[in-house]
Structure 1
Amino acid sequence: MRLPDMPLHDPFIVADEKTRAYHLYTSNDPSVSGVDGTGTMVYRSHNLRDWMRPVVVFLTAEQTGIWATDGGWAPEVHEWGGQYYLFTTLHNQDRPLAVPPPDRWGTPFQIPNYMRGTITAVSDSLLGPFTALDPSRPAPPENLMTLDGTLYVDPSGQPWMVYAHEWLQTIDGTMEAIRLAPDLSRTIGDPVFLFKASDAFWVGEQIPGGVPHQIPPYITDGPQLYRTPDGSLLMLWSTYEKNVAGQDGTIGGGYVQTHAISKSGNITGPWQQHRPLVRDDSGHGMLFHTFDGRLMMVLHRPFDNARGKLYEMQLVGHELRVLDRRADLDGGG
């Protein structure tokens, strides 16, 4: 299989030195994996061009007492303490939250909230099966509607989960972080606010004068943390760029891959927003190194019926740049 033929959303690649294979994790798609159910599947390749048919590594139906059965979004796999940990977002529309949306932007923005958040699961193998550490609840506080949790380990060795707090609950989506227990099974303390989506100064630049910029929603999506050569902390994240669409004045905008920098090197920031790296309805990217040392970014495009796209990247200090769109690997488009 090749990337143009592979349905996938929110791609995450682990370059495994032991097998010299790239493992690309995404939500289970029964039409490709042949296995029904909400969960995670993984494609494998030795060259980023030719991929094996996916193997299912996690299913909610196999987790005793799991709090949710829908979702399976944004799977990531991280090695930690000699084992492999899956982070993936689940939700349950039958478990409403009691936290009402705020009355902001001059009008009540009433959207039903329900349990959504990232769970952690563990396995001895990159190919699973993964078992949920706490099937009774998501890792972030369960009164918050969150998604896309990722692992960050600070210089002291303390693990954190960084996640997006949904615009569905906050209107102006935020990025937040919370400490994890050493075995990643539970969170410790309260969430720490990092930044909000509207902090990206360029989000509403295309909205003409006279049209309010404070138009919901402002979306945070797909965080991934990366330490830069100068010691800064880089966060890839995605959002929607706002512009005016149509003569009726309705606001529209495209999904974009952007990034922010904490020059202090601390997860708490302050975070400086940078302009998007890739537009064209692209996003939820992550950085990884090839076996020959090249820095690469994988993301999905378009948002609907998504496929994986690959870019060769360069870091100069904390400045992240796109060097080359690898259409030779991802088939163009």
Structure 2
Amino acid sequence: MPRLDEIQIRDPFVLADPRSGRHLLFGSTDPNIWRGPATGFDVYTSTDLQDWSGPHPAFRPPSDFWSTTQYWAPEVHEHRGRWHLFATFGHDDPAVRRGTQILVADEPTGPYVPHSDGPVTPRDWECLDGTLHVDGDGAPWMVFCHEWVQIRDGAVCAVRLAEDLTRAVGEPIELFTASQAPWAEEIRPAGHEPGFVTDGPFLHRTADGTLLMLWASFRGGRYAQGVAVSTSGSVEGPWRHEPEPLYTADGGHGMIVRALDGRLLLTLHAPNRTPEERAVFIELEEIPGGLRVR
């Protein structure tokens, strides 16, 4: 039974499951997530967020699955009585764009099978990190990143989804770009043109009705976790960026979970180095119009 600090994981996503009395941990867990054949997605389970059972297979690609590599950032959401896994998938052929596909299962632990017909992100866009948001009218949206490697100034976008989550409805709208945040800084990695990164959007509505978005970029050469606020209360924004990141210690791709013990936890990976990355839990509290670390 591994402890949390023994599990190599990026993009951690935790689901609190009161029916089973367990927390479910998903994430990017291939030893080298950047290249080579991908395995699939696993799930770990825990009652105390420290000692975990697993890994247990949650998704293994069928033999005719279109994606071969870069299985990233799985998120699990309940919708209409079934469980939907949103995840990034890549391909060895650079002409096949990376994107978010939606999988489905009858139980949160899986097994998951393809639900959408390939990615629901635009097929000619390099995309990643799709997340589900259901608006005040009950309409499902996917918020995702249009990758900086294609457009230089990475963007966070939103697109309406069909009620059954099988496809996008209409055209994506751009919510903001990374350079609009006062804290985000340009990176200059070897082999790439310089650019501004957007990673890991996740939406959270506070008890006072404020709609927040977690998202990650870089500051001072290190991964950092930022927060944006919808000034309209709608996913369509406009979005105002908090001037300082929530977390700056080389960690990010965060999400928020209400643990079974009632604590509100920021979940992210740190440090941002393979194979050292681990899931980190940080207790939060809601304040008027936002969040702060306890």
TM-score for both structures, normalised by structure 2: 0.91
Structure 2 counterparts to residues 41-120 of structure 1, below 5 A: 41-60=42-61, 62=62, 65-96=64-95, 114-120=96-102
Corresponding position of 1:175: 156
Q: Which runs of 5+ in 1 are unaligned?
A: 97-113, 206-214, 244-252, 324-333
Structure 2 counterparts to residues 1-333 of structure 1, below 5 A: 1-29=2-30, 37-60=38-61, 62=62, 65-96=64-95, 114-135=96-117, 137-204=118-185, 216-241=194-219, 243=220, 253-274=221-242, 275-304=244-273, 305=275, 306-323=277-294
RMSD in angstroms over aligned alpha carbons?
1.7
CA apart distance, 1:320: 0.7
Q: Identity rate of aligned residues, in percent? A: 44
Q: Distance between the aligned counterparts of 2:94 and 2:3, measured in 1? A: 39
CA apart distance, 1:27: 2.5
CA apart distance, 1:50: 1.1
Q: Distance between the aligned counterparts of 1:127 and 1:312, measured in 2? A: 25
Q: Distance between the aligned counterparts of 1:317 and 1:180, measured in 2? A: 31
Question: Match of 1:94, as an amino acid?
Answer: D
For the 8 Å contact 1:43–1:54, the answer to whether it is kept is yes
Question: Match of 2:53, as an amino acid?
Answer: M
Corresponding position of 1:329: none
Question: Match of 1:186, as an amino acid?
Answer: R
For the 8 Å contact 1:72–1:89, the answer to whether it is kept is yes
CA apart distance, 1:203: 2.5
Q: Distance between the aligned counterparts of 1:3 and 1:92, measured in 2? A: 30
Q: Secondary structure at the match of 2:66?
A: coil
CA apart distance, 1:277: 0.8
Q: Secondary structure at the match of 1:303?
A: coil
Q: Distance between the aligned counterparts of 1:223 and 1:115, measured in 2? A: 19
Q: Distance between the aligned counterparts of 2:57 and 2:235, measured in 1? A: 33
CA apart distance, 1:202: 2.1
Question: Match of 1:92, as an amino acid?
Answer: H
Q: Secondary structure at the match of 2:78?
A: strand
1:56–1:28 CA distance, 2 compared to 1 (3 A)? farther
TM-score for both structures, normalised by structure 1: 0.81
Deviations 1:12-60 (A, max 9, x none): 00000100100000124379xxxx9431111100011111121011122
Q: Secondary structure at the match of 1:38?
A: coil
Q: Distance between the aligned counterparts of 1:67 and 1:134, measured in 2? A: 12
Structure number with larger C-alpha Rg: 1
Q: Secondary structure at the match of 1:4?
A: helix
Q: Distance between the aligned counterparts of 1:38 and 1:3, measured in 2? A: 21
